Structure 1
Amino acid sequence: MATVSDFVIQRVKEWGVTRVFGFPGDGAGAFDGALGKAEKEGTGLEYIRPTHEEICGLMATAHAKFTGETGVCIATSSPGAFHLLNGLYDAQMDNQPVVAIVGQQGLNALGTFTMQESNLERVFADVAVYVQTIVSPEQAQAVVDTAFRTARLRLGPAVIVIPHDVQAMKMVEPSPANWVSRSSAVGASTAITPPESEIVKMAGIINAGQKVTFLVGHGATGATAEVLEAARLAGAGIITALRGKQVVPSDVPHHTQQLGLLGSLPSLKQMKHCDTLVLLGTNYPYGQFLPESGQARAVQVDLKPEQMGLRYPTELNVWGDVKATLEALIPHLDAKTDLSWQNGIADEMVSWEKEMAAQAALEYSDGVNPRRVIHELNKRLPPRAIVTADAGTTADWYGHHIRLRDGMLGDMSGRLATMLAAMPYAVAAKFAYPDRTVVCTIGDGAFQMLGMNELITVKKYLSRWSNPQLVIVVVHNDDLGQVSWEMRTEDGNPVWRTAQDVESVDYAGWAELLGFEAVRVRADDEVEAALDRAFAHRGVTLIDAYCSKNVPPLPAHITAEFAKNTALALLKGDPYLLEVAKDSAEALLSEGIERVKGTLHLGQGDGATER
C-alpha cells in the first residue's frame, strides 16, 4: 500500500531530483521510513546526511547553484526545521530554487502547544516563495507540484510541511471533485524573451554608447558565449559580480573581475567613466560603486522583475532570461570599430594583475601572507576545478586572486554572506561533480562553526567520489578577521579581542585524526611546496596556513572615510596598533608603486580612463 510519503518521494523524482540532503527525526519519522524502504528497493533518492540541518539547507542551495537543478533538503519538525532556515535564506537571497520537506506533529496536535509543535507555516512565511502543509492525501499532489514549480519559476525556496500522521496515510489518486486539484510534475519555462520592441530599444541604447560596460551576475550562468559576443560587438568592458565570476573566463582581456571592496581598480574606473551600463542577471547591492546618476544610460536584464531598477536609475528594464534576451539582441547590435575603450580596459587589467602579484609577494612579521596562499593556489588550479570561498576575508582574497578559467566553477553565499558556507558548498560540489577537483577556502572562525564537523561528512562519503581530490585551505589567524577590519574601517573602533579572538586549534591534527593528509604552513617560503603536495595527492588534503591577522583587505580605492576610521581605531588603542600600521603601510606602498608603474606603462595620453 503506497502512502503519502511514498508518493512524495516518487513525485520528487519525477521533478528530476536524484539527491537530497537530510537529517532524520521523529517529526518526519514515517517519511524517513519511506525513504529507507525506497533505498532498500532501489527506487529511492540518494540521501546525504551531513552533521547538521543547517548544512542540509546550505548543501541544497549549493547544489542548485552549481547544477541549475532544484536543491532539496529534509528535516524533522520544529528544531530541525528551524535549523534549515539559514540555508533557505541563502537560497532566497541568491535566487535559487530549493524545496524543503519538513515534518510536523500530527494534525490533532496543531495549535495545542504540544511537544515540538509550532506554526511552521508562519515560521517559513518570510523566507519561502511558497509554504503549505499537506493535510490530506488528495492534496499531496498539488502541494508538491506547486512547491517545485514555484521554486523554479520564482527562483527561491519553497517549503512542504507534512504532519506525522499524514505521512503514513494511504495515498489516493485525485479524482474530479470540488476542492480537489489535479496537477502535473511539469515546470514552467523560464526562457523568457522580451518583445521585439524592447530588444530594439535595448540595442539602440547600447549602439549609441561609446564607453559600454557590462556588469554580469550569476543570473547570466549558461550565457557565456552570448555575453562575450555582445561585448565584442559593443566594444564593451566586462565586470563580473562576485557570484558571476564563473560566467566570464578570466583570460578575456577586457574582463576586469569584480567591483567594490573586493574588486579591481580597472572595474572601478570603468564605472567612473562608462557612458552606458548593461546589467545582466545581477542584483549587485553596492550602489556607491555604480556610476553617478545621469552619467550613464542603463539597461537591466533579469528574471526577477522586483529587483530591477533598484541600484541605479535604469532607462530600460527588460524582464527576460539573459541567454534568450542576448540571442535576440545580438543581430541588432552594430559592431564597434573604435575599440580604444575596450583595449584601454585590457591594458588597465594587466597593470592590476601585477599589483595583485606584488601584494601577494609581501612578507609580514606575524604570519604567512594569506594573499600569497590564495595567489599561489590560483596558479595550480587544474582544469574544471571548483572553488568555494567563505564570507570572511577569504572572500576578499577570492575576489582579488582567484581567476576562474573556462570550465571552472566558483561560488559562495552571496547576499546573505553567511559564515561557514564554504565547507557545505564544497562538499555539495563533490557530490554534484565527483570527477572534479574541489577547493574550499575558509577562515578559522568559519571553520570552527560547522566546517570542522563537515570533515566527518567527507570521511563518511569519500568512497562515492570517483576523484577524491578535495583541498581545504584554512586561513588560520586566530581572529574573526573580516569583522575586525569592519570594526576599524566602518566604525572607527579598535578590535575588541573578547569578541574577536578565535581559539587556536590544530586543524591539521584534526584532519589527520580523521585519516586525511594535512600540511602546516608557518612561513611564506613553505606555501608553494604545501600546495604542490596537496594537488599531487589524490585524496583529501587540509592546508593549515598560519596567517597574519593584520593583512589589510585593501579596496581598489581608499576613501577618506576608510582612512579616517582606520586611523581613529588605531588611536583608540587597537591591540594590534603597531602590526596593523606597519603591515598597512607596506601594502599601501606596494600598491602605490605598482600603480605608478602602470601609469608610466600606459602613458598619460591613454584615452580609455583617466589616471
Structure 2
Amino acid sequence: MATTVADYLLSRLGEWGVDKVFGFPGDGINGILAAFGKAGNWPKFIQARHEEMAAFEAVGYAKFDGHPAVCMATSGPGAIHLLNGLYDAKLDHVPVVAIVGQTARSAMGGSYQQEVDLLTLFKDVASDYVQMVTVPQQLPNVIDRAIRIAEAQRAPTAVIIPADVQELEYSAPTHEFKMVPSSLGIRWPGIQPDSGSIRAAAQLLNEGSKVAILIGQGARSAAAEVKEVADLLGAGVAKALLGKDSLPDDLPYVTGSIGLLGTRPSYEMMRDCDTLLTIGSSFPYTQFLPEPGQARGVQIDIDAKMIGLRYTNEFNIVADAATALRALIPHLDRKQDRSWQENLEKSVSRWWETMHKEAMVSANPINPMRLFAELSIRLPENAMLSADSGSSANWYARQLKFRDGVRGSLSGNLATMGPGVPYAIGAKFAHPDRPAIAFAGDGAMQMNGLAELITVKHYWREWSDPRLVVAVLHNNDLNQVTWEMRAMGGVPAFRESQALPDVDYAGFAESLGLLGIHVQDPDDVGPAWEKALATDRPTLLDVRTDPDIPPIPPHATFEQARNSAEAMIKGDDSAWGVVKEGVKTKIQEFLPHKEG
C-alpha cells in the first residue's frame, strides 16, 4: 500500500518523539484515523470525551513532561472546541501542537458543511505558527516547524490538513525551485548572560539589606542555584502560582505563594524589601510587588519579550535561569547580618502554624481547608497535583506544603474552569508510574470533570501506578464567583446563577468501576486520603464542604472587607454563616502561637 500524507504525518511525529496524541474523532480527520489503524495506533491516540478536554490533556502532559504535546480534532466544531485549551497553553507558555482537519480543497470557499476559516480562527491563539498543508511536499517542513516553534516560543502552534490531502500519496519535497526541504531535531543553546550586567547586578544585590526573591515556573530547573543565592543574600523567596513547585515549601525562608491567593509572609516581604530579584516569572499583579521606587530590581528571564514588564528593574538580564545564577554566584558576598532572613523565617513558621489552625476550624460540615491540610502531611514524595480554577485554587496555593519532588500546576493566566481533571489525566500519561491528584469544585466537575472520569475509566489500567485521585469540593455553590461578588462588587450572591444542582459524585465514579468515597465528617478526611492513596484504582473523594468559609487572603483590603459586609446587609442568604465562619477563621491569626 502506498504511503499517504496521513501515514507520513504519524511517522514524522514519531520521529520527533511524540508518543501520545490527545484527540476526538470526526470525519474531517478520517484519513489520519485510518493511518493510526494501519500504524498499530502509534503514536497512541488518547480519546478524550470532548476536544476542549483533549487540548487540556495535552497542556497537562506538556506541563508535567516538559516536552511539546499534540492534540487533534476534526474540522469546524472540533477545531473550535480546541481553542480554550490552546489559549490556556498560550497564556501559560506551554508548547502544544494542534493538528486539525478541514473540508476537502474542492469544497473550500463554497459554504460547505463544517467549513470554517481555520487560518483566521487560529490566527491569534497560534500566532507564532499556523499553516495549512495543501500538497504532500509541504508536510515535512510544516510539521517540523510547528514542533520547533512550539518548543522555541513555548506556545501553541497549529497545522491544518484538508481531508482530501490526508489521503493523497505522500511524496517528499524534491531538489527543485520553490520546494522546501526539512530535517528533524534541534539542539538548544545555553543562553549565556551578559557578563557586565551580571557583575553590576551582583553589586546591586550585595548593596541591598532586605532582599526579596520572586520565582516562577522558569526557575524550576534552577532550584539548587536559587537556594544558594538565597543563602548568600539572606533573602526570602516568594513563588508565583505557576512556580509553586519550583522550590520546596519546607525551606524555612520560602514565603510561599504571592498575589491574590498568596500568603501573608510573601505580602509583607514585598512590602518591606529594599531589593527585588525576579527569576523566571511574569507575575502580573503589580500591586503585590514593592511600591515604585521602594526597591532596586533585577530580573532574569530566558524570554526577552517577557522581561521588564512588571517592575522598574535596573537590570533586565536575558538568559537561562540556572546559567545566569551560576554566573552571578561568584560575585555575591555572603551577608553577615542575617536578621532579615531570620525574621522572615519566623513569619513563615507562624504562617504554617496559622494555616493548620485555620484548617482545623469547625465548619458545616467540613472546612475546605482541612481537605488540603490533611493531604499536605500525607503527600507522596513524587505526587503530581492539579487544581481547577475557583476556590480550590485558593487552598491549593496556601494550604499545600510542597516537598522536594512534588509537582503541581493549574491554569495560571487564563484561569479557566475545567482543566483540573484533564491536567491530571495528561500528567498520568506523561508519568504513569507516579500518583496524580486533582482538586475540583463541584462547578468544574459538572462543567466537564464528570465526563472525563469516563476517560479515566477507559485508560487507568494502562498506568503502572493506578492512583489518580479527584477530590471534589462539594458545596452546591459556584463559590469563587460568590465571594468575588461579595468582596469586589459589594452585592449579595445571586442564587439563580450561583446555586448548583446536587449530584452524587462518588456514586457516579462508582458506576464507572472507580472507587467513590463520601466524606461528610471532618474526622474522616484524613482516613479518606489514606484509603485513596493506598487503593488499586482511581478514586473520587466526594467531600461536603462549607461554602461559608471565606477564601479572603490575609492581606485583604479594607474596601474588600467593607464590600463583603455591605453584601451581607443587602440580604445575602448566607450572611450569618459567613460572619460566623469568617470570624472563627480570621481569629486564628491573632491567637497565641508556639513562638509565644
Could you say whether these structures have the same fold, taking a TM-score greater than 0.5 normalized by the shorter chain as the test?
yes
Residues 83-140 of structure 1, C-alpha deviations (whole Å, 9 max, x = no match): 1001100000000111000000111222221111111010011111210001111111
Kept in 1, the 8 Å contact 2:60–2:425? The answer is: no
3-state SS of paired residue (1:574)? coil
CA displacement at 1:551 relative to structure 2: 0.3
Aligned to 2:234: 235
1:290-332 deviations in Å (ceiling 9; x for gaps): 1000111111122232222222112111122212222222222
Q: Name the counterpart of 1:461.
A: 459
Moved more, 427-436 or 348-357: 427-436
Counterpart Cα distance in 1 of 2:401 and 2:523: 22
> In the TM superposition, what is the alpha-carbon distance from 1:261 to its structure 2 partner?
2.3
Matched, 1:156 2:152: no
CA contact (8 A) 2:427 2:436 kept: yes
Q: Indicate conservation of the 8 Å contact 1:110/1:118, yes or no.
A: no
Tell me whether 1:286 sits opposite 2:285 in the alignment: yes
Q: 1:180 aligned to 2:189?
A: no
Candidates 542, 557, 560, aligned match of 1:559: 557
Matched-pair contact (CA < 8 Å) for 1:215–1:278: yes
Please list, as runs of the form range in 1=range in 2, the aligned pairs for 1:528-539 lying within 5 A after superposition: 528-539=526-537
Q: Is the 8 A contact 1:59 1:424 kept in 2?
A: yes
Give the match for residue 171 of structure 1.
Answer: 170
1:120-163 alpha-carbon deviations (Å, 9 max, x no partner): 01001111121000111111111111111111111100000001
Q: Which deviates the most, 169-178 or 90-99? A: 169-178
**How many angstroms apart in 1 are the aligned matches of 2:387 and 2:86?**
19
Amino acid at match of 1:430: K
CA distance in 2, matches of 1:177, 1:379: 64
Q: Is this contact kept in 2: 1:300–1:318, CA < 8 A?
A: yes
SS in 2 for 1:278: strand
**Contact 2:65–2:431 (CA under 8 A) maintained in structure 1:** no
C-alpha contact (below 8 Å) 1:149/1:188 kept by paired residues: no
Name the CA distance, whole Å, in 1 between partners of 2:198 and 2:396.
35
In 1, Cα distance between equivalents of 2:380 and 2:172: 51
529-538 or 244-253: bigger deviation? 529-538
Q: Work out whether 1:350 is the aligned partner of 2:349.
A: yes
Residue 535 of structure 1, CA deviation? 2.0
Normalised to the residue count of structure 2, the TM-score between the two structures is: 0.97
- The answer to whether the 8 A contact 1:493-1:569 is kept is yes
Query: Matches of 2:577 and 2:422 in 1, distance apart?
Result: 34
CA RMSD of aligned residues (A): 1.4
1:517 touches 1:542 (CA, 8 Å); kept in 2?
A: yes
Question: Which stretch shifts more, 530-539 or 224-233?
Answer: 530-539
Map 1:375-454 onto structure 2 (within 5 A): 375-454=373-452
Report the CA distance between 1:74 and its aligned residue.
0.6
Amino acid at match of 2:461: S
Indicate which of 99, 112, 115 corresponds to 1:114.
112
Does the residue aligned with 2:591 lie in a helix, a strand or coil? helix
Alignment-derived partner of residue 580 in structure 1:
578
Are 1:472 and 1:541, in contact at CA under 8 Å, matched by a contact in 2?
Answer: yes
Query: Residue in 2 aligned with 1:125?
Result: 123
Give 2:523's match in structure 1, choosing from 522, 525, 531.
525
Q: Which residue identity lines up with residue 215 of structure 2 in the other structure?
A: V
Number of equivalences: 594
Structure 2 portions without partners, runs of 5+: none
Question: Contact 2:22–2:71 (CA<8 Å) still a contact in 1?
Answer: yes
What residue is the counterpart of 2:472 in the other structure? 474
Distance of 2:203 and 2:109 partners within structure 1 = 59
* 1:590 CA drift (Å): 2.1
Q: Quick check: 1:519–1:541 contact (8 Å CA) kept in 2?
A: yes
Report SS of the residue matched to 1:184: coil
Give the secondary-structure state (helix, strand or coil) at the position aligned to 1:479. coil
Residue in 2 aligned with 1:62?
A: 60
**1:7-57 per-position Cα deviation (integer Å, ceiling 9, x unaligned):** 2212212222111111111111111111221126xxx20211111110110
> Would the aligned equivalents of 1:62 and 1:428 in 2 still touch at CA under 8 Å?
yes
Q: Secondary structure at the match of 1:298?
A: strand
Counterpart of 1:459, as a letter, is K
The 3-state SS of whatever aligns with 1:299 is: strand
8 Å Cα contact 1:277/1:298 also seen in 2: yes
Report 1:34-433 matches (<5 A). 34-39=35-40, 44-128=42-126, 129-187=128-186, 189=188, 191-364=190-363, 366-433=364-431
Q: By how many angstroms is 1:556 displaced?
A: 2.1
State the TM-score, normalized to the length of structure 1: 0.95
Give 1:486 shift: 0.4
Task: For residue 188 of structure 1, report the CA deviation from its aligned partner.
Answer: 5.3
Letter in 2 for 1:14: E
- 1:267-306 CA-to-partner distances (Å, cap 9, x unmatched) read 1111011111111111111111110001111111222322
Partners of 2:159 and 2:190 in 1: CA distance: 26
2: CA distance between counterparts of 1:511 and 1:489?
A: 35
Return the alpha-carbon distance in structure 2 between the equivalents of residues 387 and 27 of structure 1. Answer: 35
Amino acid at match of 1:416: L
CA distance in 2, matches of 1:568, 1:191: 55
Deviation string, structure 1 residues 477-507 (Cα, Å, up to 9, x no partner): 0000000000011111110000001111011
Q: Deviations over 1:365-385 (max 9, x none)?
A: x32101111100111111111
Alpha-carbon contact 1:261-1:556 (below 8 Å) kept:
no
Tell me if structure 1 keeps the 8 A contact 2:194–2:317.
Answer: no
Of 164-173 and 528-537, deviating more is 528-537
Deviation at 1:441, TM superposition (A): 1.0
> Does structure 2 retain, via aligned residues, the 8 Å contact 1:518–1:542?
yes
SS in 1 for 2:184: coil
Match of 1:15 in 2: 16
**Structure 1, unaligned stretches of length 5 or more?**
602-611
Q: Residue 46 and residue 190 in structure 1: after superposition, are their counterparts in 2 closer, same or farther (change >3 A)? A: farther
Deviations 1:525-577 (A, max 9, x none): 22222222222212222111111011001212121111111011111111111
